[in-house]
């Protein structure tokens, strides 16, 4: 079992709440924290008790205010490449998880924080949340997948503007852009995420995992998403949950899915 110095993990009703816990540094992602996020997501992959995860930040002010600038300042061309690749690998693990991962954005989501939120399957923002990719202020660009995922989520023109101006946007603007799914008062943030998660977890887990896989296929240039979808559809139809779901409909009762 991995130990955590920078994360708090709390399993409630099958939902692992992962809290990045460096509030005095606005939860900035140092390398140790990125490693701990990897370990926590590995636990989500491996532990059958965990059905989904919610990622959030400690304190009322920040989700994550970026990668840790004190560490970034020390990077060379060689170490910077592996730094970016390592972060990208961890964030891709989140994106590819076949269990749902929701970002509960409770404040600043800047740089690596915005990138972390974007790697999750959806985002719910507190009213005080602020989003931005301010890397050009530091003479760098996003390195944890931000140039790709921001463009996927908000489109090319807006992504260009946000990354080139380093402007911060508020939760309502992020909602209008499709960067977040919902905006709620801060005190309702985890409750709203739990409500969405509860709905998802009441469905057939295999089907949920395959929705994630097929949507991700849209953005994989080497994959024919339609073929991925047809194959996934076929896998669903070979499952016990498919028999249960269709029988429950005919019998006018609630389906009881087992994940098989
Ligand atoms: N890396 C390292 N430390 C960070 C950090 C980051 N990305 N963001 C905040 N911190 C630290 C600050 O240095 C400060 O530490 P200190 O108390 O030891 O001096 C602490 O967190 C609180 O931040 P502070 O700047 O005092 O809060 P603020 O309310 O005045 O400003 C922000 C909030 C988010 C606007 C500001 O912290 C900021 O611009 N952070 C960097 C954002 C960024 O560029 N992220 C992308 C990095 S690639």
Pairing of strands 15-20, 7-12: antiparallel
Atom of ligand 1 nearest to the CA of 111: 46
What average pLDDT does the structure give for the chain? 97
Name the percent of the chain lying above pLDDT 90.
99
What's the pLDDT band for 107 if we cut at 50, 70, 90? very high
Give 56's strand partners.
19
Q: Does ligand 1 come within 6 angstroms of the Cβ of 114? A: no
Q: Ligand 1 centre from 66 Cα, in Å?
A: 8
Name the percent of the chain lying above pLDDT 70.
100
Q: Report the catalytic residues.
A: 115, 135
Residue 1 predicted with pLDDT over 80: no
Q: Does ligand 1 come within 6 angstroms of the Cβ of 115? A: no
Q: Ligand 1 centre from 244 Cα, in Å?
A: 51
Q: Ligand 1 centre from 26 Cα, in Å?
A: 6
Atom of ligand 1 nearest to the CA of 168: 35
CB 155 within 8 A of CB 147: no
Which of 22, 34, 69, 75 most suits a substitution to test ligand 1, by most atoms within 8 Å of the C-beta?
69
**13 φ/ψ sector (left φ>0, alpha ψ -120 to 50, else beta):** left
Region 222-247: mean pLDDT is: 97
Cβ neighbours of residue 141 closer than 8 Å, sequence gap 6 or more: 135, 147, 163
CB 125 within 8 A of CB 171: yes
Region 140-153: mean pLDDT is: 98
Region 151-179: mean pLDDT is: 98
pLDDT tens digit sequence for 18-45: 999 999 999 999 999 999 999 999 999 9
Q: Ligand 1 centre from 107 Cα, in Å?
A: 12
Distance (Å) of CA 206 to CA 53, 85, 113: 16, 29, 29
What's the pLDDT band for 2 if we cut at 50, 70, 90? confident
- Nearest CA-CA partner of 172 in 163, 187, 184: 184
pLDDT value at residue 11: 97
Region 3-24: mean pLDDT is: 97
Q: Does ligand 1 come within 6 angstroms of the Cβ of 67? A: yes
pTM for the predicted model, two decimal places: 0.98
Q: Ligand 1 centre from 65 Cα, in Å?
A: 6
Map residue 127 onto helix, strand or coil.
coil
The angle, 0 to 180 degrees and rounded to 10, between the axes of the packed helices 156-165 and 146-154 is 130
Q: Ligand 1 centre from 25 Cα, in Å?
A: 6
- Nearest CA-CA partner of 98 in 206, 245, 215: 206
Q: Residue of the nearest CA to atom 20 in ligand 1? A: 25
CA angle 119, 30, 110 (to 5 degrees): 50
Q: Does ligand 1 come within 6 angstroms of the Cβ of 135? A: yes
Q: Does ligand 1 come within 6 angstroms of the Cβ of 66? A: yes
Buried b (16+ CB within 10 A) or exposed e, 182-198: bbbebeebbebbbebbe
Q: Residue of the nearest CA to atom 27 in ligand 1? A: 26
Q: Residue of the nearest CA to atom 41 in ligand 1? A: 65
pLDDT value at residue 16: 98
Region 226-242: mean pLDDT is: 98
pLDDT value at residue 211: 98
Map residue 111 onto helix, strand or coil.
coil
């Amino acid at each position: 079992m991995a130990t955590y110095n920078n994360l708090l993990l709390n399993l409630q009703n099958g939902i692992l709440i992962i809290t990045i816990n460096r509030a005095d540094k606005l939860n900035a992602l140092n390398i140790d924290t990125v490693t701990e996020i990897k370990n926590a997501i590995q636990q989500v992959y491996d532990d059958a008790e965990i059905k989904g995860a919610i990622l959030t930040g400690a304190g009322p002010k920040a989700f994550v205010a970026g990668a840790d600038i004190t560490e970034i300042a020390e990077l060379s061309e060689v170490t910077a490449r592996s730094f970016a690749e390592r972060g990208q690998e961890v964030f891709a693990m989140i994106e590819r998880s076949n269990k749902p991962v929701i970002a509960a954005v409770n404040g600043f989501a800047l740089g690596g924080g915005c990138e972390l939120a974007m790697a999750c399957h959806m985002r719910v923002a507190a009213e005080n949340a602020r989003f931005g990719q301010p890397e050009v202020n530091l003479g760098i660009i996003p390195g944890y997948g931000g140039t790709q995922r921001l463009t996927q989520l908000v489109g090319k023109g807006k992504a260009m503007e946000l990354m080139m101006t380093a402007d911060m946007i508020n939760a309502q603007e992020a909602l209008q852009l499709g960067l977040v799914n919902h905006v709620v008062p801060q005190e309702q943030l985890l409750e709203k995420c739990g409500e969405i998660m509860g709905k998802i977890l009441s469905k057939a887990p295999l089907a949920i995992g395959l929705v994630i896989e097929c949507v991700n296929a849209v953005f994989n240039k080497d994959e024919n998403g339609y073929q991925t979808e047809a194959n996934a559809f076929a896998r669903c139809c070979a499952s016990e949950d498919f028999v249960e779901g269709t029988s429950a409909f005919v019998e006018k009762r609630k389906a009881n899915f087992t994940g098989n």
